[in-house]
Amino acid sequence: SQTIHQWPATLVQPVGSPLSLECTVEGTSNPNLYWYRQAAGRGLQLLFYSVGIGQISSEVPQNLSASRPQDRQFILSSKKLLLSDSGFYLCAWRRGQGSYEQYFGPGTRLTVT
Amino acid sequence: AQSVTQLGSHVSVSEGALVLLRCNYSSSVPPYLFWYVQYPNQGLQLLLKYTSAATLVKGINGFEAEFKKSETSFHLTKPSAHMSDAAEYFCAVSSNSGGSNYKLTFGKGTLLTVNP
């Protein structure tokens, strides 16, 4: 069976500090990977998605970036955090062709102070 | 472009009562539709999906939803609410229109409260 992991589970960072959130998927190969942010009162916002190693599509211009160094690893980064980056970050995966649903990880709660 | 509207940001029912959470979608091509549930501080769990097969879809935990193309709706129902159903529910639409690569577009969510 497939499993998706995210870490850390919670993070408190000062404004201007760097960020690295990691997501890994087990039990499948060549998944499509997604990063979402859930901020209070703003619903679920797609940030980035990736169809393969090194292939990243950005949905929202911001001070965040994403990378996919390995097939089942997806990293969300920032060089300098803003207060507005606070939120609940969710990673998701989808199988390739013929599958349309996404499966979500447990999330990372980020508080920027 | 695709969009989802969930009517009612908060629904309150009594334990044992019918649960009805409303979802209407907009899509320029035949859509794929999903309901997810989220418990506090957890990720989203897939409840059920419509992917152009049977229009009445059964999911986990006794939930079901009916795809009605003429009404562009995909409402979620459960005959009898349990206390454990209290959570936030999200409706989502997906398609490959315009090369969107089956990205999910979510509604704003409906918080379900179950009263004893």
pLDDT digits (tens, 9 = 90+) for B81-107: 999 999 999 999 987 776 667 889 999
Residue linked to tokens 């955090």: A81
Q: Report chain A (113 residues): mean pLDDT per 10 consecutive residues.
A: 94 97 95 92 87 91 91 97 95 87 96 97
State the count of interchain CB pairs (< 8 A) between A and B. Answer: 49
Is A43 in Cβ contact with B107 (below 8 Å)?
yes
Q: Give the residue with greater pLDDT, A99 vs B76.
A: B76
Best mutation target, B27, B51, B96, B103, to test chain A (most A CBs within 10 A): B103
Q: Which two tokens stand for residue A69?
A: 């160094």
pLDDT tens digits along B3-56: 999 999 999 999 999 999 999 999 878 889 999 999 998 999 999 999 877 889
Q: How far is CA A16 from CA A78, A81, A89, B41, in A?
A: 9, 5, 18, 25
Q: A51, A68 in Cβ contact below 8 A?
A: no
A1 in contact with B at a CB cutoff of 8 Å? no
